Structure 1
């Protein structure tokens, strides 16, 4: 009995020490919509990480040419742009809860079914149109999760979202095992069928475990009897308000720079490593594993110390780490493994700071009552800005595999300047409100 009591006390003390970590404490004390939103996220993340790395290989196996695969990406991007512009009015009209359930099914359940039974280009093109509707749930799900939550918890909630995605990513090697055993097409058909079941289950469970937010109820009441097109036309006033707000424009510019940096890193980092530095393709998985493991540790060690209300220093630190990573990528010699490992560690540390801060900065710098419509324009403006960056990086990579990272270096320096100006703007606004 005495040993049992000691063991119980030891476990209690361990749990108390763990609760001192702000991220773990947030996980243990989640309330309202944040609880089902975050706890159910693996039901989406696991199937997504199983199929995503092999999606283009599956298309090629079904006879699609590289040009057709590129065209599908273009259709997907165009679809996202259109849905992003509609996301705000749809979220206000239907409510955060209903909009998330309906458009989750449109953007994931329907495409997963199409991918499962796909025969040719037309199936994938149709799936891309539906899949682009995830931009609607990007707005509605975010607002469902955070709208009734305290502002001080935002960074930690976005950290938990990133952790859920990161943990789900560790299942992706399972898909490669099944491909070796059963070949690509039957494996992917099974995975897409599994995706349809898992994701749809998540959408239904979330609908029944969540409730409409306080702001969502007010917006639904305002939209009652107003047509979708009238609401969309009225949204132009919100758009012009955004254009007149320096804080919002600075936030859009910062997020666009950061998104561009991440896109270039994700797309051209493997090409630089294999083509210019001469590191074997099979070794890439080692670096990705190191990055994911290090990010996971940083999310529990670094993220608990972050506060979006004091964003300047942590964001600048993250950007400086990215600058060091870009310089290392530009200067490292061919065949050198340790500089690559160091670059991966620097990027992981930077992303563990910047990922949760980016989402939180979006939320605190836009009007609470108009978050839905403002977020829709916010995402559309970011996509419009970052789309040419990927093309420019591709042109640069044709000349030299390292040039995209020189472009990233410039973008990171611009982001540093933007965050300093944004900090001054926010402090000025807060001081003005206090006066």
Structure 2
């Protein structure tokens, strides 16, 4: 049974070591990638890339993540959590940002998508760096703080809007990608400067010293057996796959839908994630801690899927205006943002926390590598499929996400596995 967890503020103040370094540098994401993401899909549209091609790029990116995800456990053990995070953050973010900044056509985005898939390596190593030396009972709140840190990007959203209004969509997005290159590179340095290798990382690096990477990968067979024989890890894998699939579709086509289907001007696009992030931050310090205060996370997961589903249903119910978005459009979008802020926010935190709680702590990096690979394989087809749907009707991708969220609600209600029942 989970121990009663400390409050979010208490966790923030008392974080030390790697947990502190990871959480305290995370707001730099908001000054970099979070500024440009609201425009990523419409930027591609403006450069002449069609919906189906955008969806195809999302699938290609996901398949690249599958490959890097499979390698991530072995690389993380071989290089160590700290070094892997530094090296692959440069590869996965700094380099693609330069490619995106100067992109001219589909092929530029294809190369950037393939390279950007390396973020699955750093996601594994960064997760290990984040949680391996913190108290187990604080893990859900640590991931809550990560989400809040990412949501702090909200206060910088007007910067993007001003740039778009001043220079136009394409030039402004190019500037934002160059800014992301600088800030993400600085983030890599600061995390390296103020972190150290984890105790588990030191042991794993010593254990594989001199062992070829291919030999380490062969050991995945035994690790796969750990997953297949653990109800908890299989359950957390299913939840993560559903959340990843929904995130892939909404992250690619939400801005496209409100821009082209509902008539929202380009200059207003960054304000929607800004409002969503502000709402999410407020909820993480009020309602969400109350839901996390019990002995397990089942109720919170059910609420997450249910509320997020309600947000998608409301989005589908918004009438298409005759021209530009009207008062009714914005009022209903405001309701969507509130529901999405709760649903997407809590599901992000819970999907990560459930994996961390159920994973075999002695084989964390390799188990998480296999789990992430499976999750990406499950999510990959939804990029292309949602692009095909969007090419016919910009609302159809959200019928797809509604089905996935309903399935998540069903799985979390009927197949729940408590973390103390899982094989450790």
TM-score bracket for the superposition, by shorter chain length: 0.7 to 0.9
Does the 8 Å CA contact 2:228/2:234 hold for their aligned counterparts? Answer: yes
Q: How many residue pairs were aligned?
A: 410
Q: Distance in 2 between matches of 1:272 and 1:191?
A: 22
**Cα deviation, residue 260, structure 1:** 2.3
Question: Relative to 1, partners in 2 of residues 1:208 and 1:309: Cα closer, same or farther, differing over 3 Å?
Answer: farther
Higher relative contact order (CA 8 A, sep 6+): 2
Q: 1:351 aligns with which of 337, 344, 347?
A: 344
Q: Does 1:135 align with 2:128?
A: no
Task: Indicate conservation of the 8 Å contact 2:25/2:191, yes or no.
Answer: yes
Distance in 2 (alpha carbons) for counterparts of 1:118 and 1:403: 28
Alignment partner of 1:414 out of 407, 411, 419: 407
Return closer, same or farther for 1:388/1:123 CA change in 2, 3 Å cut-off.
Answer: closer
TM-score (norm 2): 0.84
Tell me the SS of whatever aligns to 2:32: helix
Match of 1:386 among 375, 379, 383: 379
Structure 2 equivalent of residue 226 of structure 1: 211
Change (3 A) 1:352 1:108: closer
Structure 1 range deviating more: 347-356 or 331-340: 331-340
* Matched residue, 2:246: 261
How far apart are 1:60 and its partner, in Å? 6.6
How far apart are the structure 2 equivalents of 1:215 and 1:104? 21
CA distance in 2, matches of 1:191, 1:339: 29
Deviation at 1:375, TM superposition (A): 1.1
Q: What is the aligned partner in structure 2 of residue 318 from structure 1?
A: 304
Counterpart for residue 100 of structure 1? 85
Shift of 1:328: 3.4
Once superposed, what is the RMSD of the aligned Cα atoms? 3.2
Whether the aligned pair in 2 keeps the contact of 1:308 and 1:360 (CA below 8 Å) is no
Q: How far apart, in 2, do the equivalents of 1:330 and 1:69 lie?
A: 21
Deviation at 1:265, TM superposition (A): 3.7
1:41 counterpart SS class? helix
**Gap runs ≥5 in structure 1:** 1-19
1:183 deviates by 4.9
The 2-side partners of 1:119 and 1:401 are apart by 25
- 1:413/1:191 Cα in 2 relative to 1: closer, same or farther (>3 Å)? closer
Contact 1:95 1:212 (C-alpha < 8 Å) held by counterparts: yes
* Cα distance between partner residues in 1 of 2:197 and 2:228: 29
Q: Deviations over 1:338-357 (max 9, x none)?
A: 44433332222223332212
Alpha-carbon separation, structure 2, partners of 1:110 and 1:80: 16
For the structure 1 residues 68 and 330, does the alpha-carbon distance in structure 2 shift closer, same or farther, using more than 3 Å as the test?
Answer: closer
TM-score, normalisation: structure 1: 0.82
Kindly report which structure 2 residues correspond to 1:33-432, keeping only aligned pairs within 5 A, or say none: 33-55=18-40, 65-66=49-50, 72-116=57-101, 123-183=108-168, 187-270=172-255, 278=262, 280-281=264-265, 287-305=272-290, 306-307=292-293, 310-331=296-317, 333=319, 336-337=328-329, 338-397=331-390, 401-424=394-417, 426=419, 428-429=421-422
SS in 2 for 1:212: coil
SS at match of 1:198: helix
The farther-off stretch of 154-163 and 341-350 is 341-350
1:363-421 residue CA offsets vs partner (Å, 9 max, x unmatched): 11111111111111111111111222344444455565554444333322321232234
Give the gaps of 5 or more residues in structure 2.
322-327
1:288-317 Cα deviation digits (max 9, x unpaired): 443232212101112333158510111112
